[in-house]
Amino acid sequence: MAKTAEDNGAPPRHATQTDRGAAPRTAASPPRRALVTGASAGIGAAFARALAARGHALVLTARRAERLDALAAELRERHGIDAVALPADLADPQAPARLLAELQRRDLPIDVLINNAGYGVPGTFEASPWQRHADFIQVLITAPTELAHRLLPGMRARGYGRIVNVASLAGHLPGSTGHTLYAASKAYLIRFSQSLALENRARGVHVCALCPGFTYSEFHDVTGARALVSKMPRYMWMDADTVAAQGLDAVERGDVVYVNGRVNRAIKTLFKLLPDDLALKLIARRSRDFRVLD
């Protein structure tokens, strides 16, 4: 098996960093490079644009090659940064290893990982075949975990790394009827991020679980929930650009878990204070307001 990018033996490209912050960068230093998954639309594309505006080189991955190519070209022209599109379907268990092997082949070390790829499976658990659930678990749990594992040694060796795992407010709430695995997968990303942050903060690697609520994107069109969620009040919604910018600021500050928006933070706090039985009953009554159950 080909060696992955973090094992290529290349000398560190960046000055080392202590647990008190990064060493100053010089004009000769190459730009940090970020890998963004699910970059073809929504929050992923917003992360790509925000990173490019901050001077990062980019590797963009998602299934839709044409969209990736167009975004990479846009960001190269607008910001003068290096942007590479590497289409991949993370539902394929071999995709992360192939992606990392290609990064090694092109000598593209990754300093920032944005684990954003994701979607929802509408309906109840038994309504979908197992393979659909298996693909979901691969994309939302296994792939981001594997990418972090493969890229982390290089970040630690260079004394600098940023990992943002895009979770959700749903990861802080009881599971709802419908979209059975969604909240569970996001809760996993939150706990995974917490442990990973504690293990690596002394080595200059910041890890953050970003937890947006309702965000304007294609997510609800893909799941067939657009008509439902459009009935939600406007104060419940945020735009993808704001979510991404807040996520980058949060990981840079060293925040381990960041919930976007005051309304979402209030909801998280409320459900944390409620008894479990009451919180579950409240979610059960409201599931049809934002989940496709059939």
> Which residues are part of the catalytic machinery?
182
C-alpha pair distances (Å), 42 with each of 216, 241, 271, 283: 7, 9, 27, 26
Q: Taking the alpha carbons of 43, 49, 53, 58 in that order, is the dihedral positive or negative? A: positive
- What does the DSSP 8-state code read for residue 170? G
| Contacts of 52 by beta carbon, 8 Å cutoff, 6+ apart | 58, 75, 78, 79, 81, 83
Q: What is the DSSP string of 59-85?
A: EEE-S-HHHHHHHHHHHHHHH---EEE
CA distance 155 to 141: 21
CA distance 64 to 152: 27
Q: Say which amino acid occupies 69.
A: D
CA distance 110 to 104: 10
- Closest by CA position to 89, among listed 37, 150, 19, 141: 37
Q: Taking the alpha carbons of 280, 282, 283, 284 in that order, is the dihedral positive or negative? A: positive
Give me the residue label for tokens 């942050």.
Answer: 197
Show the tokens assigned to 17. 């960093």
Contact (CB, 8 A) for 39 and 217: no
- What does the DSSP 8-state code read for residue 88? -
Q: Which residues pair with 42 in a beta bridge?
A: none
